[in-house]
Amino acid sequence: MVLPTLARPAPRVPRRRPAPGRPRGGAVLLPLLALAVAVALQEALTRTGVLPGSYFPPASQTAAALLVELGGATFWQTLGSTVSTWLLALLIAVPLGTAVGTVLGLVRPVEAFLRPVVEFLRPIPSVALIPLVVLTIGTSARSALFLAVFASFWQVLVPAIAGVRSAHPIALDTARSYSFTLWQRLRWVQLAAMLPHLATATRLATSTSLILVVTAEIIIGIPGLGHEITMSRSVGNAARMYAYIVVSGVAGIVVNAVVKRLERALFVSHGIGAQA
Partner 1 sequence: MSVTRTTELRRLADGGRGRVALGVLGALVAVLAWSAVSGSSENIYFPSLLEILERTAAYWPTPEGVDNLTASLRTLGAGLGLAVLVGVAAGLLIGQVPVVAQTVSPALEFVRAIPATALVPFAMMLFGVGDEMKVFLIALGCVWPILLNTADGARGLDATLLDTARVFHVTGLRRALGVVVPAVLPRVLVGVRIAVPLSLILMVTSEMVGAQRGLGYVITQAQATFQLLTMWSGIVVLGVLGFLLTTAYSALERLLLRWCDPKRVSS
* Residue 50 within binding range of partner 1, rule CB under 8 A: no
Q: What residues between 121 and 180 interact with partner 1 by CB under 8 A?
A: 121-132, 134-136
Q: Pattern of binders to partner 1 over 58-97, x per CB under 8 A? A: ----------------------------------------
Rounded Cα gap, residues 119 and 74, in angstroms: 42
- Among 26, 80, 138, 273, the residue binding partner 1 under the rule CB under 8 A is 26
Q: Exposed, middle or buried, 86 (CB in 10 Å: 0-12/13-18/19+)? A: buried
What one-character-per-residue DSSP string does 185-241 give? HIIIIIHHHHHHHHHHHHHHHHHHHHHHHHHHHHHH--SSHHHHHHHHHHTT-HHHH
State the nearest-atom distance from the C-beta of 240 to partner 1, in Å: 11
* Residue 114 within binding range of partner 1, rule CB under 8 A: yes
State the nearest-atom distance from the C-beta of 24 to partner 1, in Å: 10
CA distances from 115 to 43, 105, 108, 160, 161 (A): 54, 11, 10, 14, 11
State the nearest-atom distance from the C-beta of 185 to partner 1, in Å: 17
- Among 5, 36, 38, 265, the residue binding partner 1 under the rule CB under 8 A is 38
| Sign of the alpha-carbon dihedral angle for 43, 45, 49, 51 | negative
Is 153 within 8 Å of 93 (Cβ atoms)?
Answer: yes
Kindly list the residues in this chain that would bind partner 1 in the complex (CB under 8 A). 12, 15-17, 19, 21-23, 26-27, 30-31, 33-35, 38, 55, 108-109, 111-117, 119-132, 134-136, 204, 207, 210-215, 218-219, 225-226, 229-230, 232-233, 238, 241-242, 244-245, 248-250, 252-253, 256
